[in-house]
Structure formats: C-alpha cells, structure tokens
Structure 1
Amino acid sequence: MRKHHYLLICLIFLMSSPALFAQKIDKEYNKKIKEYTTDPRFLPASVLNLVDDPNVPSPRKYFGQIIGAPGVMHRTSEIYAYYQELAKASPFIKVEQIGTTEEGRAINLVVIGNDESMNRIDHYKQQLAKLSDPRKISSAEADKIITDTKPIFYLNGGLHSTEMGSPEMLMELAYRLITDQSEDIKNIRENVIVLINPTSEPDGRDKQVDWYYRYTKSRTEYDDGFPRSTPYWGKYVFHDNNRDGLQVSQELSKAIFKAYFDWHPTVMLDLHESVPLLYISTGTGPYNDNMDPIAIGEWQVMANHDITTLASQGLPGTFTWAFFDGWWPGYAMWVANNHNSIGRFYETFGNAGANTYLRDLSRQSYAGDPATSREWYRPAPPTELINWSSRNNTNYMQAGVLASLTYTADNQKLLLRNFYQKGVNSIKRGVEENPKAFVIPKEQRDPAMAAYLVNQLRVQGIEVHKANSGSNAGDYVVFLDQPYRNLAVTLLAQQNYPKDAKFPPYDDIAWSLDYIYGVDVKKEDTVKFQKRNMSLVTSDVKYVGNVEGSGNSYVLNYKAQNTVLSAMYWIKSENKKAKISVLDEQQIINGDTLQVGSVIFKDITKAQADQMGKDFGFDLKAASPNGIQHEVSPPKVAIYHSWFSTQDEGWSRYTFEQRKLPYTSIDKDDLKSGKLREKFDVILVPRMRGSVSDFIYGVDSKLGPMPFTKTAEFPSHGTPDATTDMTGGPGMDGMNELKKFVDAGGVLVTLDNSTTMAAETGIARELKPYNASGLFHPGSVVTTKTRRTDSPIMYGYPEISHIFRGNGPLYQVDKYNRDMIVMQYGTKPLKDEIDYTGPVMGMPDRKVEAPKKDDTKAPPYVLSGMVRNEQTIIGHGGIFNVPQGNGRIIAFTFDPLHRYLNHHDAPLVWNVLINWNHLGN
C-alpha cells in the first residue's frame, strides 16, 4: 500500500513538472505572429512559442487578439486590468501603485519573479539598499550580500506617447515571463526580479490611443502630412517628459524616482521608438564627465551582447553608437546612471499606432552615415524601403529585452559587484579629489531659492548637512565622501563641453544649478566643517523671512527674488486696501540702502507681513520710503498656445501654477475673436517650434476640421484645452488683433523663437533678423550685461549677470534704436558702437586720436557649457523693449522659463509683469 502511495505521489509530481513534460504551445498565437510579421527576417525565434497556459490568460485569450494585431491599441485602463488578471492567476506577478498623474490616473508598477523572489521581495530590496551605500557595510559584508541578492531589472514603457508599442509588448512579455518553463525564461525568472512600468505617462497614452482611433487609424500612408500625435500628452509636458530628471517636477518623474529609491534597480531600460530598426544605446559621446568608467563599460558590454544575440537570430537593422551622446544627466533613466546603477534605452521603429506602412529610410542618417549603410556599429543594415508593422516592432523590442534580461541573469554577481563598486569609487573620489565639499552659504540674494536647491539635492538622494553653530551657522554643506558624489559634482560644478566634439550634442550641455537657480555655491578643497557640529538634513527645508519692526508699511530690498510677484497677487487677494509700489531710485533708510526696484507693501497688517515672510521667503522691514516710485497693479495675464506646438507653453503654464500666478490660457480662436485688451493686460507667447508661417497658419487647414473635444468615444480628449477644430491658426486677422492689443496699451511678451512671430509679422517692425555667422550655441550659461539700468525689466539684477541660452534666433535694431536693447549678450559693445577716432574728411581741424585701449578684462562669455564662434553674438540684444502704439513688445531671444530649470532667469519675466504699465520712458 505504501509502495502504491509513493508511486502515485511520484506520478503526480512528474505530471505537474513542466521541466519534464513539454508545455503546450499556443499554435494560434504563433500563427498570428507569423501572419502579422511582414518579413521572416523580422521574426526572431525568441518571440515565438508563447505557451498556452490553462490557468493564466494570454493576451489572445484576454483581448481576443494577439499583441501587435493590426489596428489594435489598448488604453491604460485595459492594460492595467490585464496585469491585475495575471496577478490573480499567477503567484509570480503582483501590481502596486507608485503614483498618480496630474489628471488622476494611476501609475502602476508590475513586479515579476519566481516563488522564492516574491516571498523574499522585501529582503532583496533591503539587500540592494545596503549595497547602495558602501559606508554602512564592509567589503566582506558586501560579498555576503551579493551572494544572497538578485539584480532588479526595471522596464519603462510608454514614456513618449506616440511611441505606442512598448505598453503593448510588455503585456506579452509579462505573460511569457510568468508562464514559460523553458530553461531560458526560467533562468530569467529565477535569477532576476523584473519591474515593469507599463505606461509611465498614462495621461498621454490615453490621449494618443484616442487620437489613433479618432484620426490616424484610417490613414493609408505614413508620410502624408497628417499629425501623428495628439497635441497634448500630459497636462503640462509633451516630449520633455524625458527631460525632467533634474527638476523631478512631473508626477511621472516622481513615480520613476520613487521606484528607483524603493527598489534600487540594477538596470533600468527605457523603451522608445524612433529610429530604424532597433537602436541599443551607448551614444557617440562625449560622455558626461563624472560618469564612472565602470558604467561606460557596462553600456558597451550590454549593447554588444544584445546586438550579438539579435544577430544570431538573423535580425537586420540593429545598431548602437550612432545616436544620442551620453552627456546630459536629466533623462528619465539617468536616475539609474546618476545613482550607480545602469540606465539604458532602446529605440525601435514605430508607426505611432498599429497600422502597417511602407516606410522610406533613404533620407535618414545618424552620425553622418545613412541609416541603410553597413557600418561597424550596424553590421546588418535594413533596405531603403521596408514594409513595417506593429508586430515587427513588438518582435524587435521583445527580443532585445529578452537578450538583456538573459545577460543580467547570467551575470548577476558581476552587475551587483559593479553597483557596489561604483559607490565605493564615488566615496573614494570624494575623499581623495577636489573639491571635498560644496557650501551653500546662508547669505543669499534669494534665500528661498537656496532652500529650494537643498531640497532638489535631497530629491536626488544627495546628503546635505546644516551647520548648527559658529560663524557658519545656517550654512548648508554637501560633503563629497558619499555614494552619489559624482552626481553632486555633476549638478554643482560647471560643465565644459568639448568644442571639438565631432557630433552636435543631443540636448542641453549645461545645467550648473548654482547658476540656473541663482544661488551662491562655493567649492571647498579643504573641509572647514566638522560633521559632529552639523546635522543631516532629513526633511525639506524652507526659508522663513525675517520681518523687522511693525507698522502698516513694509519694504523688501528687491534682488529679483522668485516669489515677489506671487506675494503681490496674494496680498491683493487678502487685503483689498493694500497698495504696492516699486522704488525707481536708490534710497537710504535708517542706514540701509534700498536698491532700485525695492518693493513697498502699504496699508497691510503686521500679521500679513509675517505671513508673507513665512510663505514667500523674503525679508521685510517696517518703513515708508518716499522717493520716486510707481504703483503696482498686478496684471491680467494670458498665456498663448498654438495647436501646432504645445511643449514650451506647457512649461510656462506649469511655472505659473507653481508660483501661484493667475493666468488664462488662450489659443487661435481667442486671437481671432478680438477685444483682447478688454480682457488682458499682458499676453505671454512662450517659445514654440516652427516658422512664422506655422505660427500664423498652424496645423494645415486642409486636414480639418479636427476637433479636440471630449466625447463618449474619446473621453481623454479636450484637456487641458479643447477646440472644435485644431487646424488653421490665428491667420492675419488674428495677428492684426494681437497688434491692436499692443496698440491699445497691452504688453506682448515673446520668448525665444516666438519673437520671430512678433518681428516678421510687423508687430515689432524694428526687430530685424540677424544671422551670426558660424554661431553654434547649444544650451549653455552665458554672461550678460544690462544696457538699460533704468529699465524695470532689469530691476534686482546686477549690471553683469548671466542667463541660460540655447540655439534661438537673434534679432537686431538699427543703431538709432539701440536704446530698445535692455540686456545684451557678453559685456563688449558691437563694433559699430565703438567711437571712431580717426580723421574725418571735410573736418580737417579734427583732432585724430589713437584708439583708446580697453584694459578692462571682460568676464568669459561662456560660464558653463560651450559656444562656438561666440564673438559673433557678443553685443547683440538678449531682451528688447519695443514701443508700439500705447503698448510694448518685450522680446526675449532666449527662454527664461526653460523646462522649470533656469529659475535665475524667470524674474526677468516677473519684472515685466510687475511693471507692465511702467516699462517705457
């Protein structure tokens, strides 16, 4: 009896062991994969043979279609529901929420591992947290931890909403990882914990899926001029949602950072779609100066492994190197590179939907080589024409991810050791190299921004200490003997991009937080502080202003603090009797020098003054200066957006809302309807891509009408703005209404490229385009000089200052109108502004003088970054104040509201708004 019982148990075990009995393959799924793949060369073996699990629903069984089926895209709610179904059916997967979008959608994280991994998930998270800080463990302890730790591999899907394939592919991948009992997949499941962010921009995903079903699914040609993207993705940010890694301002970025610091993933892979057919990131360089050499080596090794694996499966068109550079640290997955993990990305070829299109690659090139040429980094190029499907995209992306997961499983100890060693190296560099520390002194032009800097460093996991006693009490110190030393140096030191770089940079090349925040930060090669006399900052800090004296009038010594305009709106809403004035001359009151631009809050209570000091972080003194001053009436502001380009308008809206500045969002229809001056005092036109004709005429009206309205069928549309027809622009009628607005006393503010609109439509006729020969000006911090020290636009700034500028247009005015230049680039004058001292025909008695030698040493133009042929821009206008009728055009040739980053520059805009009705002589 016992013998029969034992045999029965053995039989049950053998029957339930998939390792010993081949799993049933879903033949219908295989059939459909082959049917939807347009060429056998696009079909890697690793994506075939999805199992037919009797207990866990495959995408085919759940949705009725396989992933990559023509014409099928899924919304976020459908995607999340599928993962929840998998979690109900399998112990190898669970789902947790890590954030909520600006529009209220969940941001979910999917966790996959074998039974042992899932049961010990908290243990593995703790182990990786220990490895992340080598100060807390010895080398011997690290060895023990590494032997009892699994690497975590994070996959990020759907960041850029038009890149629609990854949220689809990841569902099939998740099913494969939790059901497949083949040795390859078991190797991954047993040795790696996989995290999946299925759609990291849920708001944009839903808008884009609605856009696909509403508009582009019916298109038969890809390159037909029809917009492939919905006008908005997130509430604020479009493509720049992958440029938010320094600000961490958007909810999707906060969720990614939360995932990183909760889990410390060993590898993070962002799944993008743009170039043919699969790019695996390494970049052409120059690489960020502070990257650990180990990380650079890991990029190469993993990319080459993936390409080799895909080559072994016969896939053409995979390549590395020739796209991207590796310099700027603010991309989403650089949260990994910045914190000693490995950050990578793929670019597969996508069609912005699930249609199959004949695509022309003949005009595409990368790093100077055609996309179809055979190179060392692209050994098997694609043909010039390819017939490309959504399933092809899924095949390539999934095969690459499986290759990368396999590498991680096979090299888990090496990767974990490298993770630990990069932290060791960072600490060692902090001890042995200079600087040893960065100090943020308590005395600042804008103390609230210094507090903001401390908080932003903490968001990045960088330790900050505060001095508690002595002459330096209140100073903040970043000691560099810490695991994220390299990131601290990256953020607080100047960038020196090589001028001889062979390829243009992929993005901005400077981001020094001291400059762009307007905060004084000092490098210290000798540490003068003792940690025992300091406390580690463990929560957000806030500067609370000091309010001296009492009365009903208080003065702020204005130094272009970022929160002053916010306080003006606040006090006006709290106290209808309050009055605000700005000093137009320097004064001395009770021994204190009040600078031009100082702000007087009158007829307010002591309690209200105290509240302003607390909430807005500036110092006030009870005083009633007389002197020359003008009254402030905070304006009614409109922010214009086109339907053609919403990227930077979103950043402007976000900045206004963060500063609690009221505004109205307007578009082409508002311009055309007229009566703008009755509604607004100031219209701000943020930077937007394209030409002046794009601004005037917008989306081609031949494609219309194109509603962007919320309907039962397309519920995600209509936000953050709606229209019955996106096509067309304001037209010449709208331009005329904009000019009428200025003529009637309104102020038009144009930022960067939008100045082209004002200049070339004749609203600001005095502005003429200027071509600076050979100028190459990628995003860098550069020196500026105030030319009109009497202009309220420059109140609070020193004569010699700096701004952040990219490759924007330049404009000039005739010499007799040079007083319209409020601020210039560099400190030297233009050549035609240098006095002529030679002989003059017809004036024989004129005394000829030798040219005056200028012995003053000009400060360098480039403070952080790089500019080629900088001499061609020095002396030219950065800000113009152009009178028109009874109003003004304030034209910037840079963007002072760039990506919620250059806070030092933003008060130039706030100054315009504060003084909107006092901007001219």
Structure 2
Amino acid sequence: MNKSVYVGFLLGALAFQPLFSQTIDEDYNAKIKEYTTDPRFLPKAVLNLVDHPEIPSPKKYFGQIIGAPGEMHGTEEIYGYYKELAEKSPHLSIQQVETTEEGRPIYLVTIGGDESMDRLDHYKSQLGKLSDPRITTPEQAEAIIEDAKPVYYLNGGMHSTEMGSPEMLMELAYRLVTSEDKDITYLRDNLIVLINPVSEPDGRDKQVDWYHRYTKARTEYDDGFPKSTPYWGKYVFHDNNRDGLQVSQGITKGIFKIFFDWHPTVMLDLHESVPLLYISTGTGPYNEQVDPITIGEWQIMANSDIASLASQGMPGAFTWAFYDGWWPGYGIWVANNHNSNGRFYETFGNAGANTYMRDLSNARYAGDPATSREWYRPDPPTQKVYWSARNNVNYMQAGVLASLTYAAHNGEQLLKNFYQKGVNSIAKGKTEGPKAFVIPREQHDPAMAAYLVNQLRAQKIEVHQATNGEKEGDYVVLLDQQYRNLAVNLLTEQNYPKEAKFPPYDDIAWTLGYLYGVNVEKTDSISYDSNELELLTEDAAYEGEISGSGNSYFLSYEAQNTVLPALYWLNSESKNIEIQVLKNSFIIEEDTLKAGSFYFKGLSKSEAEEMASSFSLDLIKGSEEPAPDNIQKVTLPKIAIYHTWFNTQDEGWSRYTFEQRQIPYTSIDKDDLKSGNLRSKFDVILVPRARGNGSDFIHGVSSEFGPLPFTKTSEYPSHGFPDSSPDITGGPGFGGIDNLRKFVEAGGLLITLDNSTNMVTETGITRKLESYSASGLFHPGSVVTVKVRNSESPVLYGYPETFPIFRGNGPLYQVDKNDRNMMLLQYGTKPRKDEEEYSGPIMGMPDAEVEEKEEAGSPQKSPPYVRSGMVRNEQTIIGQGTIFNVPVGEGSVLAFTFDPLHRYLNHHDSPMVWNALIHWNHLK
C-alpha cells in the first residue's frame, strides 16, 4: 500500500475514535432502563451517555434523568441548562431569536464540531448562496456544495400538551456535545444541528404548571379530566401550527427567522399524538406546488428512519397513514414552501410524565387499526401498552438520531436537491404559465392590497412595483424567482380532488386574493418594461388620498377593513365629530356614494388628513350636506367577546383580530353571564366559534372535577393569563343563559359565529332558527360563492350581490318560509327548492301573464359555488342561509353559519362583523 494512502487511511480511522477514554454514566443507563417499561422500547441509540467530568448531564443539573416519572421542566430551567452547556462546551451556542406575546424569550441552540462552530457565518452564507440560483451558477453551486454542510433544524414544544420534545432535546444536546463515539463525532463534524428547544414558551410554562398543579396526581389516562391548561399562547392554542400563511404569532416569527437566517436543509417538527412513532409522509393528495424532489425525500427519509428503529427492535413505527400533505400553513412548511424539506414526528405522549396503561383498540389511521400489520407499519404495537414518559423520549430520540445520521451521510445529495429545487422553480416561471401576477393599483380596499404584498414579502417572495407609465402603482410578482411555486400556491385557486380517499387534514383552500378581497390578475405576458419596475425592499403602505372640494368629508364605503378602527379613533379624538351613515345613495359631483357610505360632520382638515394617512382611507370633499332623512347617526358600541373555558381557540383568534384592528372590547366568561346586568355594561356580545353543543355551552368543563382555579399564584405563576377564574368548571348554567337572553331582549346585539350558533338555538334564546342537516354534504375549508338576500341590511353594506367567502364544515340552520326575510345571505346563487318559481299553468291567471312572468325570470349566468377547494354534494347547501338576523325582544341575534374571523385569514369576510358593530342598534 502507498505510504501516503496508508497514513491517510490511518488518520481517517483515528478520526472516528475517541481522543481519550470516556466513562459511561452507568447510573444514567440504569435509570433509563428502570423507567422504560419494555425492553422492546429501549433502543441502543439512547443508552451510554457520557459521564463528562466538566459538562453536566441532565441528571447532574436537574437531579434526575430526562423522562423520570413526575419530572417536567419549565422554560427557565430548560434555557438555564442550555446556557450551562454553552458555557462548558465549545460545541454549543445559544442565542435569543424572538420574544413571545407574553414576553418570554425564544432561543435557538446551535450544535456542531469545532470547525463548524468557528465558521458558522461561513456555512450560513454558503446555504444562502445555494438558496438563490439566480446569483449562483451550477458551477459555483458545485463548489459551494463541496464546501458546505447540511443544516438540520429540530423544532420542539410547539403544542404544549405534547410535553416530551423539550425534555428529550436537552438529553440529545448533551449527547451531541459530549460523546466521542464515532457515530456522534461523525454527526458533529458533518452536520450543523439547530434546536428550537421550546418554540411556544408561553404554553409550555402554563402546561408545566398545569401538570404539577393538577394532572400529576392522576392515575388513569382516560378519566375525563382536562389534560390541558385552558390557554397556551396569549391568543392561539393548537392553531399555532396553522399560522404559517399569516405569520402573526411570536412562535411563527421565531420559526421563520431561524429558517431564513439559516436555510436549513431539513426541518423536523416534534409532535405527540399517535402510537408509537409516526414519521410523516402523508396519505396525499400532496400539495400540487411541492417539488417532486421534496416528495421523494419525504419517502426515503421516513423509510430510512423506520429501518433504523427496526434494526434496534422497536415496534410501532409507521408512515403514510396519518395527515395528507396539502395545507401549506404548518410551521414546518416554511421549509417545504422554500425548497428545503419539512417533516414531522408524532410520538406517543401522555401529556406529562406519568405512566399509564394505554388502550389502542379504538385507534384507527387511514381506516386501519393502529395495531394491524401493514406495508407502512411492519411491526405494529399490541392492543394495550403500558406507556411511560421515558418510552416517549426513547422513541423520539432514536428517531431523531436516525434522521440526523441520514442527513450527515447524505448531505451532499440533500444540498444538491436544495439547489435544484430553486433551479426548477425559476425554470417553471420562465417556461410555464402564468409568467406573473399583477395586483392592480385600483382596489376597493387598497390597504388590504398593501397587506397582501407584505404577506408575500414575509414569505420572501419578491414583489416589484411599477414606478412610471400608465400602470404606475401596480404591484407585480414576476415568477422567474426561486419561490415561484409558493407564489403560485398562494395566489391561484386550489383544486382538491373530490375522489380523495381520505378526508383532508385541514383547510383545503387559501387563495389569498379571495381571502383578502384583493383583485389579483395572472398573466402569461409581462407588459411592463424592466425600467418601469422597482423591487420592493420595504413593506408596502397605502396612504389614503383626499379628493374633491368643499368643507364636508365623505367616505365611499366598500367594506374596507380599516373603517371601524377609524371610527373608534374619531370618537376618541373629538366629541365634536358626528359620524353619519348614508341610508340611500348620494351624489357628490362625479362620485355617487352608495348606501352605507359615511359623512363626517365637524371633521377638520387636519383630522381628515390624519385619518386618511393612518387608516389608509380615501376621503372625498363635497360642498353639500346630505338631507337629514338620508343620514343615520352612528353610535359605536361597547363590545364584549365571550370565551368558554373548554375551548379558547377561536376566541383567541377573535381577540387577536380585534386588537390588530384596534377595536376596543372586554373579555368576559361564564361568571359575567351569571352576574347578569349585561345590557347595562355592553351593547354587543360576540360569541366566537367554540366546539361543542348547547349543553357544553351551558355546563362547560365538568363540575365533577371542580373547583379548578386558573389563577396566578407564587407556585403557579404562569396561570391566570390572559384570563383567570377561581373555578373554570361549570358553565354559565341556565341562569347565565337566561341573563344572555335578557340582554338581547333589552336591545343588545348577540353575534354568534359558526358552531356557537348552536348555543342560541339549543338553549332557546331564539326559537326561530332550526338545525338543518344537508344530506351527504362534505364542506372542508373552501372558498365558495354567496349571494345577498337582503340588500338593505347594513350587515352587507359595501358588498356586491355575489362574492366569495371562506367556509369549513359547520352547522347549518333554517327558518320557516314566512321568516325568510331573516336570511341576509345565502350559499350559492340559486334559490332553495321551496323557493323556486312555479312555471306551470295557474288556474285563474291568463296565459299571457304566465308567459310574461316566465320571460322575466329568465336565468342568468352565475359564478360556480366552489371558487377554490372542494365541496361534495354542494347542491344540498345551495340556497341555505349564510347569515340570519333574528329579532329577539328589542334586540337581535345575528347568527353566522361560518366563521368570518377564521385564523386571521379571511379578511374579506370580517367587515360583515364590522358592519354589524357599526349598525348594531339599527339591525332590527
């Protein structure tokens, strides 16, 4: 053998050997074995942690190993441990990347070998170059790939009741920075590992307090006791993994910052829900804009992980039969949307650190029992498993180590794929249609057009603006860019296949033009010269204009989202301004203002200018005032938003929307309903969507578990926010419901959204609404057509006769035929069967009159019911009521059969709620 080759071989072999003999922490080993309930749940990969002389293991730091019964750590403890590791080890660093809504830090932990840690900025830069093939040629990319290292991003603690990943990641980090085992040193030298230890710190601390306060003492998993704290984040509960299109919450902003700083090659989100370890690929249909390379990577990495666990004798690992792969708004889809690879695990968690007997007999995925042997689950679990927190840690850590190993050994291919996906996206933008999207300057709500542009920019989609020429002010998205596929995904209609075998995992449509009420045009030809377009480097903003002459100020109303906030601002700015709304059309020189438009009596020039600028509203000056009989004074209401204690998800989105729109409100709960006198405190009570039925609303969290205080104490400091109660069990009861009825009868407006409409029908607050069952209807979240039934209703001011809304699966209602005037809006454009006009002969009416009637009723072409998404058996919903305005005493119940405040997404729908608030005392 050539001497130099031999020396190289020898040095290469030595590189995989420990530089010094390491002592295994046998006590830690013993505890892992003790807390693991079955040898089959104990992989070799999680044993043999080092007893390092200087760097403390979790056991030395906390006094117990990770996964010990009854041990769960809050964020300060977790972050404290990582800071200790960073201080003691050169292989780990920690830095804050974001702050939550409640002020807690979100940290990023970086792990790598000596060379990697010394050159982190260099490796960041290399991946940044690979992310954009427009600035990196194939030849340059080849050289960069030889020099770059794949980056693997592990995201922990997104869902607060899924408590294992923040624990496991600490043990994993210790293993990665201390072990000199050849497999670990290979990972450390050939891979950079990013760890977001607790991506939702607010919920983590609330849940850890909940565990120690309540569920740690429970002995049965299925005893009905609430396993979750009522709140996670300040606003968002489980939907914190549905914020990837809105990018509204701190958790998402943190994930996005990490991703765009690093462009990680693979991103793995660690969840817990199904037995024993699910590795994501999904049943499909897969999102149509995902590059086939990514889909291939999903499959090969999942099967590699399963093979690794199988080699260690671990049962219960599977892929395919859970989730679909369609909705692009999950946290990990920042990777899939931007040419990296986003994956997730679902391990089997117990919502704490208790050991429970778990029964899998009723668990089914993709129609198959969780215990059946399938092609995608070669080694199923038994019907019952005795499951511990340590078992969960073992499965999660063994899977992650397998996945890191795959990435380290296949880094070159993963980096080539990452670059190639960008190449493919740019090529499609050049060779396939459309070539560009145009957001024209003229919009009915220019503020929302600017918002759409900024949402695209938050996704790193490039947007240009026309700076001269006849189309000056237009926004243009040119599609020869590396995120072309995402732009197409967000701005075109979704076509979910009706024949899909399994129901979708989440919403199936998200066309932003529809959701925002913005006109977006796609074009196969670009009619702008390059010198007319300027790349936006800052967020877009629309500054309202003031046109016309005279001393009177008007606003042409077209359901702009910023009008109601502007009205509240005017109220607070000056008591001399009188806000009037036009009851009929009014002509100002060349402008015709429709009913619902506004006249501001007493508005000064400076106030008008500030209103136009701050709220992006165009005002019109006129010299005439409308006649007194054509105006109606606006009295802005005192608003309450009601929340249950058993489901706070959508109530949180409603509060978030109100605060973003600067609409003042008071949060109330069951105790406020019990106290009564609601009409003396509020004009409007909004009841957001809350899962459950009328009985749930009345009785709330089962009182058999009470009292359950959710209050801040020295022992449980994270509780009591964003609301507190000495006892969250029990609902408002029949007395509270009666007080709510009295509120409406005394002239209040009660607004119910989607499922919460169950509450007013099933409790008898109104008996005019009845439940309607649409046979065979399957209506996952899609954009559909609605038609105005009552054009005079102020709730529909600013909307055309037909327009799109977003609707998911939810309850439907109906009223008797003689009460159909209560239907303000209907689904689809065709009437209900019992409203179809009779076209046959009529005794006692001359034939000529019948013929004339038939001619007058000739059909006109209507838009399709489904604009984006999919609905099965849509004929059963067409003609049914979308919004009902039901009089009750001196007040009204305004019942929505969809959610116009869904996840801060369907901004075009929300002005129907704002209209109701503006005109709350003129709806009856």
TM-score range, shorter chain: over 0.9
Give the deviation of 1:837 after TM superposition: 3.8
| Corresponding residue number in structure 1 for 2:5 | none
Partner in structure 2 of residue 729 of structure 1: 731
Alignment of 1:28-107 (within 5 A): 28-107=27-106
Q: For 1:47 and 1:577, locate their aligned partners in 2 and report how far apart those are by CA, in whole Å.
A: 72
Q: Which residue of 1 aligns with 2:546?
A: 547
Q: Say if 2:552 and 2:625, in contact at 8 Å, map to a contact too.
A: no
C-alpha distance in structure 1 between counterparts of 2:71 and 2:568, whole Å:
49
How far 1:360 sits from its partner (Å)? 0.5
Q: Is the 8 A contact 2:584 2:594 kept in 1?
A: yes
Q: Which amino acid aligns with 2:47?
A: L
Counterparts of 2:269 and 2:19, CA distance in 1: 36
Amino acid paired to 1:877: G
1:897 and 2:901 correspond: yes
- In 2, distance between residues paired with 1:386 and 1:307? 20
Residues 285 and 639 (structure 1), Cα distance of their counterparts in 2 relative to 1, 3 Å cut: same
Tell me which amino acid in the other structure corresponds to 1:803.
I
2:681 pairs, out of 679, 682, 686, with 679
Could you tell me which residue of structure 2 aligns to residue 867 of structure 1? 871
1:4-30 deviations in whole A, cap 9, x for unaligned?
Answer: xxxxxxxxxx99996254411000000
Counterpart for residue 779 of structure 1: 781
Change (3 A) 1:880 1:86: same
C-alpha distance after superposition, 1:692-711 (max 9, x if no partner): 11111000011100000000
Which residue is equivalent to 1:11? none
Percent identical residues: 69
Task: State the TM-score, normalized to the length of structure 1.
Answer: 0.97
Which structure 1 segments of 5+ residues have no match? 1-13
Correspondence 1:909 to 2:913: yes
Once the two structures are TM-superposed, the CA of residue 836 in structure 1 deviates from its matched residue by: 2.4
Equivalent pair of 1:550/1:606 in contact (CA under 8 Å) = no
Contact 1:100 1:107 in 2 (8 A): yes
SS of match in other structure, 1:824: strand
Aligned residue for 1:898, secondary structure, equals: coil
What is the deviation of 1:261? 0.6
Report the equivalent of 2:242: 243
Cα deviation for residue 838 of structure 1 reads 3.5
1:746 is the counterpart of 2:745: no
Give a deviation string over 1:627-663, Cα, whole Å, max 9, x none: 4121101100000000010000000000000000000
Matched-pair contact (CA < 8 Å) for 1:551–1:606: no
Q: Which residue of 2 aligns with 1:396?
A: 395
Distance 1:346 1:839, change over 3 A: same
Cα distance in 1 for partners of 2:53, 2:529 equals 64
Q: Report deviation, 1:848.
A: 9.9
Structure-2 separation of matches of 1:606 and 1:412: 63
How many Å separate the matches in 1 of 2:562 and 2:551?
21
Cα 1:60–1:329, aligned 2, differ >3 Å: closer, same or farther? same
| 1:559-589 CA-partner distances (Å, limit 9, x unpaired) | 0000000000001101111110111111211
- Cα displacement (A) at 1:552: 5.0
Question: Which residue identity lines up with residue 918 of structure 1 in the other structure?
Answer: H
Contact 2:543 2:617 in 1 (8 A): yes
- The CA deviation at 1:548 is 2.4
Contact 1:37 / 1:43 at 8 angstroms: preserved in 2? yes
Give the match for residue 182 of structure 1.
181
Give 2:760's aligned residue. 758
Are the equivalent residues in 1 in contact too, given 2:17–2:182 (CA < 8 A)?
Answer: no
Q: Cα deviation per residue 1:50-87 (whole Å; 9 max; x = unaligned)? A: 11111100000000100000000000000000000000
- Alignment partners' CA distance in 2, 1:16 and 1:650: 54
- Give me the whole-angstrom Cα distance separating, in 1, the residues matched to 2:29 and 2:849: 91
Who is 1:343 aligned against?
A: 342
Aligned residues of 1:552 and 1:603 also touching (Cα < 8 A): no
Correspondence 1:620-635 to 2 at 5 A: 620-623=619-622, 624-627=624-627, 628-635=630-637
Contact 2:16 2:186 in 1 (8 A): no
How much has 1:457 moved relative to structure 2? 0.3
What is the alpha-carbon distance in structure 2 between the residues aligned to residue 763 and residue 704 of structure 1? Answer: 28
Structure 2: gaps (5+ residues): 1-12
> Could you say what secondary structure the match of 2:903 adopts?
helix
Which position in structure 2 is the counterpart of 1:227? 226
1:881 is the counterpart of 2:885: yes
The residue matched to 2:358 in structure 1 has which SS? strand
Does the aligned pair in 1 maintain the 2:16–2:185 contact within 8 Å? Answer: no
Aligned ranges for residues 270-285 of structure 1 at < 5 Å? 270-285=269-284
Give 1:809's aligned amino acid: P
CA contact 2:277–2:346 (8 Å) conserved in 1: yes
Specify the code of the residue in structure 2 equivalent to 1:878. Answer: T
- Asked if 2 retains the 8 angstrom alpha-carbon contact of 1:169 and 1:394, the reply is yes
Question: How many pairs are equivalent?
Answer: 906
Counterpart Cα distance in 2 of 1:194 and 1:520: 42
Write the letter of the residue equivalent to 2:483.
Y
Deviation at 1:309, TM superposition (A): 0.5
Counterpart Cα distance in 2 of 1:477 and 1:837? 50
Q: What's the CA shift for 1:859?
A: 1.2
Distance 2:797 2:366 in 1: 45
Give the superposition deviation at 1:857.
1.9
Aligned-residue offset at 1:162: 0.1
Q: d(CA) in 1 for partners of 2:285 and 2:631?
A: 51
1:172-193 deviations in Å (ceiling 9; x for gaps): 0000000011111011100110
Report the alpha carbon displacement of residue 858 of structure 1 after superposing the two structures with TM.
2.1
Equivalent residue for 1:708, pick from 707, 710, 721: 710
Match of 1:8 in 2: none
8 Å CA contact 1:747–1:890 kept in 2: the answer is yes
- The residue correspondences of 1:520-669 to structure 2 (distance < 5 A) are 520-549=519-548, 553-623=552-622, 624-627=624-627, 628-669=630-671
- Which shows bigger deviation, 407-416 or 551-560? 551-560
1 CA distance for matches of 2:848 and 2:689? 50
The structural deviation recorded for 1:714 is 0.2
Distance in 1 separating the partners of 2:51 and 2:445: 63
Shift of 1:551: 5.8
Q: What value does the CA root-mean-square deviation take over the aligned residues?
A: 1.5
CA distance in 2, matches of 1:733, 1:896: 29
| 1:52-451 to 2 correspondences below 5 Å | 52-451=51-450
Correspondent of 1:833 among 824, 832, 835 = 835
Superposed CA offset, 1:594-643 (max 9, x none): 01110111112111100011110010012344141211011000000000
- For residues 631 and 303 of structure 1, the distance between their equivalents in structure 2, rounded to whole angstroms, comes to 63
CA contact (8 A) 1:589 1:625 kept: no
Amino acid at match of 1:445: H
Q: Structure 2 CA distance, aligned partners of 1:592 and 1:302? A: 62
Alpha-carbon offset, residue 879 of structure 1: 0.4
Moved more, 828-837 or 304-313: 828-837
Amino acid in the other structure paired with 1:707 = P
When residues 687 and 384 of structure 1 are mapped into structure 2, their CA distance, relative to the original with a 3 A threshold, is same
1:809 — aligned with what?
811
